[in-house]
Each structure stands twice: as structure tokens, then as C-alpha cells.
Amino acid sequence: GLDAGDPLRRGLEAAAARLLQAEQELTDLDREVGDGDLGTSLSRGARALLEEVADYPGQAGPAAVLRAASATVRRSVGGTSGPLYAVMLMRAAAAVPEDRPVGAAEWAAAFSAAVDGVQEIGGAAPGDRTMVDALRPAADALAADLASGLDPWKALQCAVTAAREGTQATADVQAKLGRSSYLGARAVGHPDPGAHAVTLWLAAVADALGA
Ligand code: ADP
Ligand code: MG
Ligand code: MG
């Protein structure tokens, strides 16, 4: 099993708990610009993860844990978000070292690789009004701030700020991809729900790891 004090477990649980808490908010937002299922989808995944996380193979290291989390998400989350989150976790797993403790810069590189995966599979670039508008700036900020010597916890806070700003910017953009693209100008004024979800869980992870 995976130790309750393991930082990766604490991060996964914090993200899941925040998404559960935000179920209604994400439903309402996805109803405005999409089909309204995002809150339900992500909550299903969050619940499944909270149920299964204690049984993840902690002894096998973070890569194995991330692969297990990806399997949980693939099984429990539908829509567009399910496969994209599953890929995100798989790519992160592939990027972390299997056989030794993972350092801050390696976590940042894994996050960046995870976002690369989402962009490859979903075909979205920043500015297309998707979750990539939160993920890409957050991953880039984290890597850049760590490289310039910033304290890891402060770098994570800056990544959250970058995600939040990226999400806010989506409110001014017409979607090119995903369901809200069908709405055209009607989506303008509402932030992209998937980007908003990213900002919520990333902020929760940062709080959990900084505390
Ligand atoms: P749907 O109901 O449209 O299948 P979800 O409700 O699960 O999808 O997720 C919607 C979110 O998925 C959007 O708000 C957006 O952030 C994200 N999304 C949609 N298309 C893409 C894409 N091609 N690449 C990355 N993210 C996307
Ligand atoms: Mg939806
Ligand atoms: Mg849907």
C-alpha cells in the first residue's frame, strides 16, 4: 500500500478532495459553455482515486503510483477529460526516475512532460481555450522558477498563479477545440471549465505540499 504521509499521496488526495468540493461549480460552468458533465466526471474520478489510493504500490516508487492513478482515472472518468487526465498521469509516470527519490526539478520536468502529452493527444495549444491554457503556463513557470533557483514551494505558488491567469484569459477567447467551440461567441465571458478545474486542483496540491 501507499503510506498516508507519502507526499505524492497527499498531493493526489488534495487534488481529488478539491475536485469533489467543486463538483457543483464545475457542473455549472460546463453547463454554460459545454454539456454540463465535467463536475460529475471529475468527481467520479476523485472518488475512485480516494478509494483506491491507499492500495497503490507505494514500495514500487512514484512512477508505479502514477501509473496506478492513471488506471483509476482511465476507468472512472469519461468525456474528453478522462483520456486526457489518464495520459497526463501516464506521461508523468514515464518521466520520473523509477529507482531513486525524485527531486523538485525532476517533478517539474515530469509535469512538463505530462502537459506535452495532453497537447499531443488533444491537439490543443495555449490560446485554444482548453485546460492547456492553465497547464502549459503552470508547467513552464514551475520549470523556469526552479531553474532560476527559487525555493520549490514558492515556485509551486507561482505555477498556481500562472494557471489562474491562464484560466482567466480563457474567458476572453472563443474556443477552437472541444465542445465549447460549437458555442462560438456565447462562451466568451466564462472561463474554460477544464482550465478552471486545473487551477483548483493545482492550488490544492500546492497548499497540501506547502503545509
Ligand atoms: P466533454 O464533455 O466535452 O467530452 P469534459 O466535460 O470532460 O469534455 O471536459 C471539458 C474540458 O476538456 C474543456 O473545458 C477543456 O478544458 C478540455 N478540452 C476539450 N478539448 C480539449 C483538447 N482537444 N485538448 C485539451 N483539453 C481539451
Ligand atoms: Mg463536458
Ligand atoms: Mg461530455
CATH number reported for the structural domain that contains residue 29 in this entry: 1.25.40.340
The ligand with the least distance to the CA atom of 182 is 1
Please check whether residue 199 lies inside any domain of the structure.
yes
Q: Where are the alpha helices (DSSP H) in the chain?
A: 7-21, 23-33, 38-52, 62-76, 81-95, 104-122, 132-147, 152-170, 193-210
Low-confidence stretches of the chain (pLDDT < 70) are: 211
**Total domain count, the chain:** 1
Give the chain's end-to-end CA distance (angstroms, integer): 23
State the complex-level ipTM. 0.99
Please give all residues whose CB falls under 5 A of ion ligand 3, grouped by chain where several chains appear: 35, 37, 79
Domain range spanning residue 30? 7-210
For ligand 1, atom 21: residue with the closest CA: 178
For ligand 1, atom 15: residue with the closest CA: 130
Please check whether residue 52 lies inside any domain of the structure.
yes
- For 137, residues 6+ apart whose C-beta sits below 8 A from its C-beta are 126, 162, 163, 165, 166
Please check whether residue 121 lies inside any domain of the structure.
yes
Residue 115: per-residue pLDDT: 99
Residue 181: per-residue pLDDT: 81
For ligand 1, atom 19: residue with the closest CA: 178
Residue 211: per-residue pLDDT: 64
Please check whether residue 1 lies inside any domain of the structure.
no
Please check whether residue 2 lies inside any domain of the structure.
no
Query: Model pTM?
Result: 0.96
Q: Among the atoms of ligand 1, which is closest to the Cα of residue 81?
A: 7
